[in-house]
Amino acid sequence: MPELPEVETLRRGLEKHLVGRTIAETRVQVAKMIKGTLCEPDVFKKSLQGAKILSVGRRGKHLINKLDSGYYLLLHLNMRGQLLLTPADEPDAKYLAAAFALDDGAELRFHDMWTWGEIRLVSESELAEHPALRDMGPEPLSEQWSVQDLQVGLAKRPKTAIKAVLLDQAVLAGVGNIYADESLHRAGIQPLRLSGSLTAPEVKELHREIQAVLTEATEGGGTISDNYVDADGQIGRFVPRVYDRGGKPCVSCGTELTRIRVTGRGTVFCSLCQK
């Protein structure tokens, strides 16, 4: 699933192309992916027609396109969604869910093999009330996010495994399986430790490593993966140290990495480096 660095990379790529452009026409191939009060495909298409894109924002893993009609076009890729900018005359690829034709001859295309992604056109008040956004925790790459904020987040679920708490979007926006595993390895913290058992120096270290790994991955255009590309079709360049490397040697000490499950999610850690 694309996480903060991947969605932020997409946002930056889309921003360059989309801001100032007008949506000329919308095509909907997978109607069930259109959500919200304007989900009926004809209503959705009509409501978008002629709208100019004023900005491309992000909150957690959600892309938020502000339109001059007063509405916001929200895009959430979920597990396997992809957004690509293509020339409008390019043939449709397999798994096309929706396409937004722009006034410059390009199309923004949402592909989704699993059709778990979400597309939603909302008013300003609906945006404020969107449950996922309303309850979302702080943005870890914002300058305001402090060690204290992380401490407060962890204190909400002290008897839960730290890995599971890091995945909780109400504690932290945009962190998923990749960056939870990576930041715990870098901070030397075992993923099953209860969040309330972390010492103050460990919380400080974890805070630092969450910011460091998200920054590095964003600068690298996201994690290298079979199912993620940016808006221009480029794959990520960030290489994880533990994520999806169960059974392989730890890059720090050479110990074979352990693979376990934490709240149903595959989790990899080093039994020597992480305590």
Instruction: State the residues that interact with Zn ion by CB under 5 A.
Output: 250, 252-253, 255, 270, 272-273
2 is a catalytic site residue: yes
- Looking at beta carbons only, is 39 or 272 nearer to Zn ion? 272
61 is a catalytic site residue: yes
Q: Which residue is nearest to Zn ion (CB)?
A: 250
5 is a catalytic site residue: no
90 is a catalytic site residue: no
Q: H-type helices in the chain, by residue range?
A: 4-18, 41-48, 124-129, 131-134, 147-155, 162-167, 177-187, 200-219
Q: Which amino acid is at 191?
A: P
- List the catalytic residue out of 11, 45, 61, 186: 61
The CA-atom distances, in angstroms, between 11 and each of 28, 89, 131, 257 are 22, 24, 22, 33
Residue 178 sits at the vertex; the CA angle it makes with 173 and 180, to the nearest 5 degrees, is 55
Parallel, antiparallel or unpaired: strands 118-122 and 34-35:
parallel
Residue pair 109/93 in contact (Cβ under 8 Å)? The answer is yes
Query: Please, what is the minimum distance in Å from the beta carbon of residue 186 to Zn ion?
Result: 11
Query: Please, what is the minimum distance in Å from the beta carbon of residue 140 to Zn ion?
Result: 24
Query: Please, what is the minimum distance in Å from the beta carbon of residue 253 to Zn ion?
Result: 3
- List the catalytic residue out of 157, 208, 259, 265: 265
Q: How many CB atoms lie within 10 A of CB 88?
A: 14
- Looking at beta carbons only, is 48 or 270 nearer to Zn ion? 270
Handedness of CA 244, 249, 253, 259 (dihedral sign): positive
Query: Please, what is the minimum distance in Å from the beta carbon of residue 243 to Zn ion?
Result: 14
Residue pair 43/179 in contact (Cβ under 8 Å)? The answer is no
Query: Please, what is the minimum distance in Å from the beta carbon of residue 263 to Zn ion?
Result: 23
Residue pair 54/67 in contact (Cβ under 8 Å)? The answer is yes
- Looking at beta carbons only, is 41 or 188 nearer to Zn ion? 188
- Looking at beta carbons only, is 182 or 230 nearer to Zn ion? 182
| 122/144 Cα distance (integer angstroms) | 28
- Looking at beta carbons only, is 228 or 269 nearer to Zn ion? 269
Cα dihedral 39, 43, 44, 48 in deg (nearest 10):
-160
What is the set of active-site residues? 2-3, 61, 265
